């Protein structure tokens, strides 16, 4: 009798263990199935912090379903988004709104990717405030995008908008050359181009950190870059978008936390040409990640500031709530 009871007890324990193992295996399989979505996503970013935050995703061996391309300027990226050549893109925050209005709402902003990265670089020591730019010529990049409107806003708030001549240059590299050879004395550039421009040019210095200048006149967080997707793509591939956001967040964190390794990837991607410069630039690039309500609050706040200063800067009107993914 006792032997039978022991046998039955052993059988029950074995059955329970077997059931637990099977349930665990099924749960693990379901989790893996949820994580893995092999939808191909064509991703584009700009040659700067937005591209730097994505460099890990450019590794085809680990992320075979992503094709990441890097463009030099928003002008090169815009047509690719409009034509549907790319599914996901990292763009200036104002451009996200412009595209939303242009494409009848077929754009979703997925996440904030970059905070303030603009600086004024000077060959000299005359500029120590935005007001000091009065009567001077500033060369800049980013015409028609966030940099132009941030600079205009700061000039206006400091009462010098009518006394500063701003000349725009097509690409960061061209402006860097002008500053280095003396054909431009004052320039506005984003990181990582500031670090690369200052390297080997002892006559140049950072005159103004425009994030600090922004914070003096505006309580809204300075958002410069966001990640967007065609809304039609988001609706068709919701699991793929969720997976992308998880992996993009991990990539951004990796770049900020593993500077030496990330610097090599940034050079491999063609964003910068020198590993040591990349190492110095990463901490100043304000590579960020926020989604959901935090993203909504930051982006809506920034777009409101831009709209009030110049409605044209965001495409004529503020986006509706359906612009913001995940809220």
What is the phi/psi pair of residue 316, to 5°? 100, -25
User: Is 0.85 surpassed by the pTM of this model?
Assistant: no
Q: What is the C-alpha to C-alpha distance for residues 40 and 87, in angstroms, rounded to an integer? A: 9
Q: What is the C-alpha to C-alpha distance for residues 57 and 37, in angstroms, rounded to an integer? A: 14
Q: Which 8-state DSSP code applies to residue 163?
A: S
Pull the structure tokens for residue 143. Answer: 């015409």
Residue by residue, pLDDT tens for the chain (327 residues) are 444 544 554 455 545 554 444 444 444 444 444 446 789 999 999 988 989 999 999 999 999 999 999 998 888 899 999 999 999 999 999 999 999 999 999 999 999 999 999 999 999 999 999 999 999 999 999 898 889 999 999 999 999 999 999 999 988 889 999 999 999 999 999 999 999 999 979 999 999 999 999 999 999 999 999 999 999 999 999 999 999 999 999 999 999 999 999 999 999 999 999 999 999 999 999 999 999 999 999 999 999 999 998 999 999 999 999 999 998
Would you state the pLDDT for residue 16?
A: 53
Question: Which SS3 state, helix, strand or coil, does residue 219 take?
Answer: coil
Question: Which SS3 state, helix, strand or coil, does residue 113 take?
Answer: strand
Q: What is the C-alpha to C-alpha distance for residues 138 and 260, in angstroms, rounded to an integer? A: 34
Fold of 118-217: D-Maltodextrin-Binding Protein; domain 2 (3.40.190)
The three-state (H, E, C) secondary structure of 309-321, written as one string: HCHHHHCCCCCCH
Would you state the pLDDT for residue 36?
A: 61
Pull the structure tokens for residue 176. Answer: 């860097």
Q: CATH topology of 41-115+222-323 equal to that of 118-217?
A: yes
* Closest alpha carbon to 215 in 154, 166, 275: 154
Would you state the pLDDT for residue 280?
A: 95
CATH of 41-115+222-323, one of 3.60.10.10, 3.40.190.10, 3.40.50.1240, 3.30.1360.120: 3.40.190.10
* Closest alpha carbon to 92 in 143, 132, 40, 134: 143
Cα distances (Å, whole numbers) of residue 67 to 39, 50, 61, 89: 11, 15, 11, 11
Whole-angstrom Cα Rg for the chain: 24
What are the residue ranges spanned by the domains of the chain?
Answer: 1-29, 41-115+222-323, 118-217
Would you state the pLDDT for residue 28?
A: 43
Q: What is the C-alpha to C-alpha distance for residues 322 and 125, in angstroms, rounded to an integer? A: 47
Handedness of CA 181, 184, 185, 187 (dihedral sign): negative
CA angle (214 as vertex; 210, 217 as ends), nearest 5: 145
Torsion of CA 258, 193, 92, 143, to 10 degrees: 180
Length of the chain: 327
Assess whether the previous peptide bond of 190 is cis (omega < 30° from 0): no
């Amino acid at each position: 009798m006792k032997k039978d009871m022991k046998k039955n007890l052993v059988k029950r324990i074995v059955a329970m263990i077997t059931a637990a193992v099977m349930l665990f295996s099924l749960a693990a399989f379901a989790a893996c199935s949820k994580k893995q979505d092999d939808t191909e996503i064509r991703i584009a970013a700009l040659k700067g912090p937005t591209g730097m935050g994505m460099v890990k995703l450019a590794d085809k061996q680990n992320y075979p379903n992503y094709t990441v391309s890097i463009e030099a300027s928003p002008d090169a990226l815009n047509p690719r988004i409009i034509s549907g050549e790319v599914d996901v893109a990292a763009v200036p925050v104002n451009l996200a709104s412009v595209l939303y209005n242009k494409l009848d709402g077929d754009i979703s902003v997925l996440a904030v990717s970059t905070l303030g990265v603009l600086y004024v670089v000077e060959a000299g020591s005359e500029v120590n405030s935005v007001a000091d730019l009065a009567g001077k010529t500033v060369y800049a990049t980013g015409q028609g995008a966030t940099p132009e409107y941030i600079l205009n806003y700061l000039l206006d708030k400091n009462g010098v908008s009518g006394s500063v001549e701003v000349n725009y240059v097509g690409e960061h590299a061209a402006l860097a050359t002008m500053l280095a050879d003396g054909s431009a004395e004052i320039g506005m550039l984003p990181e990582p181009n500031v670090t690369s421009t200052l390297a080997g040019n002892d006559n140049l210095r950072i005159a103004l950190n425009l994030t600090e200048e922004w914070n003096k006149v505006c309580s809204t967080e300075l958002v410069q870059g966001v990640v967007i997707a065609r809304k039609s793509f988001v609706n068709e591939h919701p699991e793929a978008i969720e997976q992308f956001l998880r992996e993009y967040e991990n990539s951004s964190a990796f770049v900020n936390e593993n500077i030496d390794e990330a610097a090599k990837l940034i050079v491999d991607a063609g964003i910068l040409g020198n590993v040591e410069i990349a190492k110095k630039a990463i901490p100043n690039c304000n590579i960020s990640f926020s989604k959901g309500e935090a993203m909504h609050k930051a982006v809506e706040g920034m777009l409101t500031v831009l709209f009030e200063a110049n409605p044209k800067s965001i495409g004529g009107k503020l986006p509706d709530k359906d612009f913001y993914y995940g809220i």
